[in-house]
Amino acid sequence: MSVSHPQPAARRRVAGWLLAGTALFTVVTAMTPADWRIAAGITAWAACLLMLPDIARRSRWQSGVLMTLGAGGMLWGLFQGEAIQWQRAVAANTGLISLLIGVSFLQLVAMPRRASDTTLPTGPSAYRNTQVGVQLFGSVINLSTVFIVGDRLTREQGMDRRLTILLTRSFSVAAFWSPFFASMAAALAFAPDANVGHLIATGLPLATAALLGTYLLEGRKVDHRFQGYPIRYDSLALPGLLAVTVLVVHAFYPEVSVIALITLLGPMITMAALIPRGRSGRRALKQQVEENLPGMGNELSLFLAAGVLAAGLGSVLATTGDWLPFQAFGGLEAWLTLVAMIGLAMVGVHPVISVATFGTMLEPLNPDHSLLAATFLAGWALGVCVSPLSGLTLAFQGRYGVDGTRITRWNLGYTAWMLGLCAVSLSLLAMWTAGG
């Protein structure tokens, strides 16, 4: 007997289709002469308003503060004779939102299989394999991976310090390099000319070093009582195909952004895999739009508010004359910016806000976009581990009862030695992009 599921509220269904429209307008803008960015922004804002009752109070408060600051900055600029950057306020982060929409479809075909009654692997090798699996799956489907793995492992051993470190670091390092991660979209929004090949070549070694260092300091000390997750990598076939397709197409058509390609190809590859399943496949696609997309209200409100903040900062900076934080933007300046992003994260500032702030502030320097984007990726990857208010930390606090300040404290040493590695990495990238 089939089990009937309650239909989502009409409000949420409409919000889901509006978000699908945001993604469509973003793709059309990137691939045709037409400019539909304002339309993408309007549909995203309309969806956010429809989802307002579902947005957490913390997110509403944070977004409200950002929009107030941004609006204040635009009014200040107006009183100083500057035009209001209303297009930027409406549509600044539609690329980031569209990428999240496109990537979300991959959850239908790339979820790691749940290990309900499976015998769990044990020992250091289980720790190591869980690290790699969480990073790879997390790079595609984001926090869902952490919940699947964490829920299963806490049934046996609880969410202790060792498991918290494993999951938070293994998940967050995907932000160093993954084209499917929100960090990449946020970085490319303010550094659109960045070479994705440079970013992956810089980020993958950092992610590898983070996993290896964590394993040497934590993982190899575990005994047979430690239980890891039985990762099955065959579910990554379609995301792997998507990644290769995106990079190949971008190599031949560099004028089409990686964000637009992922936004377009993610749902297309998912549909190609699901439609042959008939009615169940079509039902899954419809459910993704009408039920799952409206679930991103918290992120949507924050990213839209960050766009308003960026517009306000742009207006204020336009009135400050020639003041700039640096005279140029090289390896040292990139590292100092990274340190500032980590400091802001530790007092609760979300990485997307830091990206919007520094992206706007450093724009007059005409920095190399690959170096700037790599800085933002590193700030995101490390910042979410030490921020007591990041989505990752709050998820652990709410789902597993782990205090956010403890997660910050447990990852402080890790962040310090990773900052040292990032100093070397950013300096090498600066020399590479300069042709030195």
Backbone torsions φ then ψ of 121, nearest 5 degrees: -70, 155
What is the residue extent of each domain of the chain? 10-434
Residue 231: the pLDDT is 78
Residue 414: the pLDDT is 96
* Cβ–Cβ < 8 Å for 397, 223: no
Query: In angstroms, rounded to a whole number, what is the distance separating the alpha carbons of residues 177 and 188?
Result: 12
Nearest CA to 25 out of 263, 336, 238 is that of 263
Residue 277: the pLDDT is 85
Residue 48: the pLDDT is 94
Condensed to tens digits (0 to 9), the pLDDT of residues 247-301 reads: 888 888 888 888 888 899 889 988 988 888 888 888 999 999 998 899 888 889 9
Residue 55: the pLDDT is 87
Q: pLDDT by residue for the chain (436 residues), tens digit each?
A: 444 444 558 899 999 999 999 999 999 998 888 889 999 999 999 999 999 988 888 888 888 988 999 999 999 988 888 888 888 889 888 988 898 898 888 888 776 666 655 678 889 999 999 999 999 888 887 777 888 888 888 887 788 999 999 999 999 999 999 988 888 988 998 998 999 889 999 999 999 999 999 999 999 888 888 888 887 777 778 778 888 888 888 888 888 888 888 899 889 988 988 888 888 888 999 999 998 899 888 889 988 988 898 888 888 887 876 677 888 999 999 999 999 999 999 988 888 889 988 998 898 899 999 999 999 999 999 999 998 878 788 788 878 888 888 999 999 999 999 999 999 999 999 999 887 4
**Geometric angle at alpha carbon 202, from 198 and 203, rounded to 5°:** 115
* Cβ–Cβ < 8 Å for 138, 145: yes
Runs of H (alpha helix) within 92-122: 94-104
Residue type for position 137 = F
Residue 292: the pLDDT is 87
Nearest CA to 16 out of 281, 290, 280 is that of 290
DSSP conformation class of 53:
G
Residue 6: the pLDDT is 46
Residue 364: the pLDDT is 87
Residue 201: the pLDDT is 94
Residue 4: the pLDDT is 47
